[in-house]
Amino acid sequence: MSERRVFSGIQPTAGSFQLGNYLGAIRHWVRLQETYQAFYCVVDLHSLTVPQDPAELRTATMTAYAQILAAGVDPARSVPFVQSHVAEHAQLTWVLQGLTGFGEASRMTQFKDKSTRGGAESASVGLFTYPMLMAADILLYRTHAVPVGEDQRQHLELTRDLAQRFNSRFGDTFVVPEAHIVKETAKILDLQDPTAKMSKSQPGGCVFLLDPPKVIAKKIRSAVTDSETEVRFDPAAKPGVSNLLTILAALTARDVETVAKAYQGSGYGALKADAADAVLAFAEPFAARVRELLDDPGELARVMADGAARAREVAAPVLATAYQRVGLVPAG
């Protein structure tokens, strides 16, 4: 097994992962566990940066964990765990907050977007310090590569800056991680507004993988395209059609140009129908596997606890080193 490590996380805030989460991130998690020491995390603490119903959050966390396993993350090949089970994440965050400039954090576009959506005054301080928690997640595992979608690139840059800053002030402690962004699927677009990324907070144009098959198929069949009829991969001029081609190509393991050629002369209807079929061919067995895992909560909790214990084995000594280097006196 390689000494190189990969880390990534996903929020449990919706009842179901959306297609962008799967294509942009989790699919790559599954692949990378074959060649890296892999740590994958349901980042429940990140979800607390916006209001949550406690019972819903508990259910969403169990469901998110089941979805990671159902997607192919294998506890025998990787370490899947829940962020709040490893207290070191919150502890290192505090140290990193002390190293982050207020102006630097203010430039994070995700904070600007999310805080303006609900009114800047009502945005939590947690939403502001979200990227430092993400940096702590990654740095605790001395991570080399972080598979994420394009929307996380800026947070990754901040993580790299914080690692370098810490290392140069206090001595070499953290690995400076690289973003692992697979260009083709880095930004799956909203089906109703193909200028925006697919996102659970815009449910109209978002495919939730655990939704009933009919709902999924209908959303894809009614995807916004354009007033032409020619199927062509041209993200700038034809974002809706190109998005459908990207989805279909990724799910059928083909090159996007090859897929586009197959629809020359056949119009948008056939493309939409095949994209819907491809999504369902993944989503239906995925949902069945999620249900199976959730039907045995005792076993799921056991796997979770095992993941947390293995994560802590790596995170605890890294946190202890960081605490010691910044001058905190050890407890005993």
Nearer to ligand AQP, 174 or 208 (CB): 208
Q: What are phi and psi of 5, to 5 degrees?
A: -115, 150
Q: Give residue 153's Cα distance to chain centre.
A: 12
Is residue 10 a contact residue for ligand AQP (CB under 6 A)?
yes
Q: Which of 187, 197, 219, 238 is catalytic?
A: 197
Nearer to ligand AQP, 149 or 239 (CB): 149
Nearer to ligand AQP, 205 or 307 (CB): 205
**Residues shown for the chain:** 332
* Residue 312 CB coordination number (10 Å): 18
Nearer to ligand AQP, 37 or 49 (CB): 49
We find the least distance from the C-beta atom of residue 9 to ligand AQP, in angstroms, to be 7
Is residue 242 a contact residue for ligand AQP (CB under 6 A)?
no
Phi-psi region of 249 (alpha: psi -120 to 50; beta: other; left: phi over 0): alpha
Cα–Cα distances in angstroms (integers) from residue 32 to residues 1, 3, 72, 188, 315, in the given order: 12, 13, 11, 20, 20
Is residue 95 a contact residue for ligand AQP (CB under 6 A)?
no
Candidate ranges 100-108, 143-151, 157-165, 281-289; the one touching ligand AQP (CB under 6 A): 143-151
- Rg of the chain over all Cα atoms, to the nearest angstrom: 21
* Residue 292 CB coordination number (10 Å): 12
We find the least distance from the C-beta atom of residue 229 to ligand AQP, in angstroms, to be 26
Q: Is 238 a catalytic residue?
A: no
Reduced to 3 states (helix: H, G, I; strand: E, B; else coil), residue 39 is strand
Is residue 149 a contact residue for ligand AQP (CB under 6 A)?
yes
* Residue 157 CB coordination number (10 Å): 13
Q: Is 200 a catalytic residue?
A: yes
**β-pairing verdict for 178-180 and 145-147:** parallel
Residues 184-223 that bind ligand AQP (CB under 6 A): 186-188, 197-201
Do 6 and 278 meet the contact criterion of CB atoms below 8 Å apart? Answer: no
Nearer to ligand AQP, 23 or 140 (CB): 23
CA-to-CA distance for 173 and 163, rounded, in angstroms? 8
Is residue 61 a contact residue for ligand AQP (CB under 6 A)?
no
From candidates 69, 95, 148, 158, binder to ligand AQP by CB under 6 A: 148
From candidates 5, 6, 7, 18, binder to ligand AQP by CB under 6 A: 18
Q: Report the catalytic residues.
A: 114, 197, 200
Contact residues toward ligand AQP (CB under 6 A) are: 10-11, 13, 18, 20-21, 24-25, 148-149, 151-152, 186-188, 197-201
